[in-house]
A = this chain, B = another copy of it.
Amino acid sequence: MIKEGDTVQLQDKKNTFFLVVKKGEVFGTHKGNINHDELLKKDYGQTIKTHKGHEFLILRPTLFDIILHGIKRKTQIIYPKDSSYITLKLGITDSMKVLESGVGSGALTIVMANAVKPSGKIYCYEKNEKYIQNAYENLKLAKLEKYVEIKHHDLSEELPEKDFDAAFIDVREPWLYIENIKKALKKGAPIGFLVPTTNQISLTLEALEKNDFIKTEVVELLERHYKPVPDRLRPEDRMVAHTGYLIFAVNS
């Protein structure tokens, strides 16, 4: 049964809405209003009608949907194709202590926080204070805020935590901080980076080499969607051609 505080997804053929259920509230759509109290009598997979009679399917939102459609974006986000790969590649799992910087809108943070449940933690260092509040709100929408600590901190200064099991860095000039980050990483810990340009790749690779990281790799992921029509199957006309290049290495 749906409980107060749940993030619920309302779905019809065309529309997707997200809401956090609170007793007494009303959710308005262009297809009519829904009383939260009605939602509290329902279960996921059931349908609910607006006061105009329009029917929505009630879904438990996946993190994938929350990231793409639910969170408020104050920055370019790391997309699911990349965040899922990063999380598996870095081996993020229960009980790990993970460094992320910056936090941006928290899209990658959500995926990694879900992976360190129930006893791990993501420490985010974000130098741009204005992003922090929004990132926390996005984490709350995903019910993952307790696995994350976001600090207003610049990577050029000594890191407040040590002994990280893994790290992911998404800042403009990561090569400037690799020596400093290394001091807070366990030996053998994997690290990843996202950079949009080839020049940034070259500079990051140089810094990794200089700081004795091993198993360095550069990879990009392309996601191609098809129009799901059985008898006229074809790729979409246009696609996202670039989100960023991923760099991975291991501290040695």
Which positions in A face B, CB cutoff 8 Å?
A: 11, 13, 44-46, 57-65, 80-81, 83-85, 87-91, 93-94, 111, 114-115, 117-118, 186-190, 196-199, 201-203, 205-206, 209, 214-242, 245, 247, 250-252
Known: A88-B63, A93-B114, A237-B241. A209 touches B230 (CB 8 A): yes
**Closest chain B residue to A12 by CB distance?**
B214
* Chain B positions within 8 Å of A45 at CB level: 186-189, 251
Expressed in whole angstroms, the Cα–Cα distance for A216 and B237 within the complex equals 18
Smallest Cβ distance from A109 to chain B, in angstroms? 14
- Are B63 and A91 in contact (CB-based, < 8 A)? yes
- Are A222 and B221 in contact (CB-based, < 8 A)? yes
* Chain B positions within 8 Å of A228 at CB level: 205, 216-218, 247
- Are B206 and A230 in contact (CB-based, < 8 A)? yes
* Chain B positions within 8 Å of A236 at CB level: 241-242
Known: A222-B222, A224-B220. A57 touches B230 (CB 8 A): no
Copies of this protein chain in the complex: 4
Expressed in whole angstroms, the Cα–Cα distance for A44 and B97 within the complex equals 14
- Are A202 and B233 in contact (CB-based, < 8 A)? yes
**Which of B118, B199, B214 contacts A202, CB < 8 Å?**
B199
- Are B241 and A238 in contact (CB-based, < 8 A)? yes
Expressed in whole angstroms, the Cα–Cα distance for A221 and B237 within the complex equals 13
- Are B240 and A238 in contact (CB-based, < 8 A)? yes
Known: A59-B250, A239-B238, A242-B235. A81 touches B85 (CB 8 A): yes
**Closest chain B residue to A187 by CB distance?**
B45
**Closest chain B residue to A87 by CB distance?**
B84
* Chain B positions within 8 Å of A118 at CB level: 94, 118
* Chain B positions within 8 Å of A239 at CB level: 238-239, 241
**Closest chain B residue to A119 by CB distance?**
B118
Expressed in whole angstroms, the Cα–Cα distance for A241 and B240 within the complex equals 8
* Chain B positions within 8 Å of A91 at CB level: 60-65
- Are B222 and A245 in contact (CB-based, < 8 A)? no
